[in-house]
Amino acid sequence: MAAPESVVSFDRLDPLKLKRDEFLLPRDTIYMDGNSLGPLTKQAKNRVARVVQEQWGNDLIHSWNKNYWIDLPLNVGDTIAALIGAEKGQVIACDSTSVNLFKVLASALKINSQRHIVLSQRDNFPTDLYMVQGMSEFLGHEACQLKSVSEDLLLESLDESVAVLMLTQVNFRSGRLHDMQSLTKRAHEKGVLVIWDLAHSAGALEIHLDQCEVDFAVGCGYKYLNGGPGAPAFIYAAKRHHRDMSQPLSGWMGHARPFEFEHDYRAGEAMLRFLAGTPNILSLVALDAALEVFNLVDMAELRAKSVGLSELFMSCVDTSPSLKDFALLSPRNKLERGSQLAYSHPHAFAISQALIAHKVVVDFRAPNIIRFGFTPLYLSYQDIWSASQMLIKIVEEQLYLEPKYHARGKVT
C-alpha cells in the first residue's frame, strides 16, 4: 500500500532528506534500531580503510605524530561538544560509557567528599547502577552508597546527605525525557553534583550542558553518533571542575608527560587526566568520520523531524483496531520523550522478531517491550508509514505465532 500524499509531502519538504545518502543501509530495510546501534556511514567505511592501508600500513608508528593519532581523543571530543551544548576543551572521547561513568563518579565523590550518597532512578540503565554498587563494595558504604528511588521521589530525595545525582537523560526503556535544567538546578541548590548519562540523547536531541550548568556527563558513541559497535564513549566535565577533578584509573596516557616515563603519576591537564590506556585508534577514526554526517545539521531541525516521525507512527498505531493490545509506555507529550517509542505487548519478543524478518529492524527489551527508534538522519516519513503497515500485517495475520520467531539468541 502506497503512503498517503500527506506522508509523501513530509518527505518532499524534509530539510534533512539528503543526509540518508551518507549512510550505507541494507536495501529495502527500514532501520528503527539506531538507538541501539547506528548504521555504517560512507565516510566511516572509507576513512577506516584509508587509515588501515595508508597510515597503519605505510606510516606505521610514525602515525602517532604524522597523522595526529595522539590528538584524536580531544579532537573527537571537541566535535561531540558541539552536539551537546558544550564549549571546546570539556569533552574527551575514550573507553566505554561504563568505564567513563566510574571515572566521573569517583571524581564527583572526591570533590563532594563530605557526603557519600549517590542518588539515582530505580529504572536507570542497569550498568549505571552496577557501577555505583561496585564502587560501594570497593570503597565501603561509608564512602559510597547507592540510593535508588522511583522518578516521582527524586526531588524529595535530594537533601544534604546526597553527594551525587546520577541520571540518564532519556530512559532506555520508556524513552521518557528528564528536564535536565530543572533537575540540575534543584540538585545544586542542595549542594549536590550532577552526572548525566547521554547514551540515548546525544545526537538525537538538542542538549545544552553548559547552559544547564551540568557538572559531569558521559555518553555513547555507537548509538545516535553512529561510531560503530563498541565505539569509544565520551566524558564531559565542566571547566569549573578541571582543577579539582581526579580519577583512580591513572594510566600512562593520563600522565602529564607520558613519554617521560616517570616513576610517579602526575595528572595531565584538564580532560587529558581522564585518559588511561592507549587510545583505540581505529575505533576513534570510525567515530570521527561518522560524526561528519552532522555537518551543517541544525539540531533543532533534527529534533523536529524526530518528533514528526514518532508522532506519525503513534497515530498509525492509535488508529489501527488490530493494534489495540499495544500499550504505549512512552509519554504522549512530545516534550517529555526522547527519540523512541516503547510499546508493551504479551508477544513483544515474537512480534519484534517477525518485524526484523520482514526488514523492519526494531529491538526488544525484557520483559515485554518493543522499542521503535526514530533517527531523523536516515529515516523518512514513508519509512515510518511502511513500518506501521508491516506491524499491522504481522499482527492481523498472526505471523508472530510461527515457531521461528520465538527462538532467542544471546543478544535480544
Active site residues: 125, 197, 222-223, 371
Q: Which three cell numbers stand for residue 11?
A: 518527505
Q: Which three cell numbers stand for residue 223?
A: 548509538
Cα–Cα distance, 21 to 42 (Å, whole number): 9
Query: To 5 degrees, how large is the angle CA 76–CA 196–CA 255?
Result: 50
Q: Half-sphere exposure of 174 toward its Cβ, with a 13 Å CA cutoff?
A: 19
Q: Which three cell numbers stand for residue 350?
A: 515474537
Q: Which three cell numbers stand for residue 386?
A: 511502511
Tell me if 86 sits within 8 A of 129, measured CB to CB: no
Tell me if 211 sits within 8 A of 181, measured CB to CB: yes
338 three-state secondary structure = coil
Please report the DSSP string for 343-405 in residue order: EE-TTHHHHHHHHHHTTEE-EEETTTEEEEE--TTT--HHHHHHHHHHHHHHHHTTGGGSGGG
Name the phi and psi angles at 147, rounded to 5.
-125, 110
Q: Which residue has the cell 602515525?
A: 63
Tell me if 213 sits within 8 A of 191, measured CB to CB: no
Cα–Cα distance, 98 to 27 (Å, whole number): 34
Cα–Cα distance, 50 to 43 (Å, whole number): 10
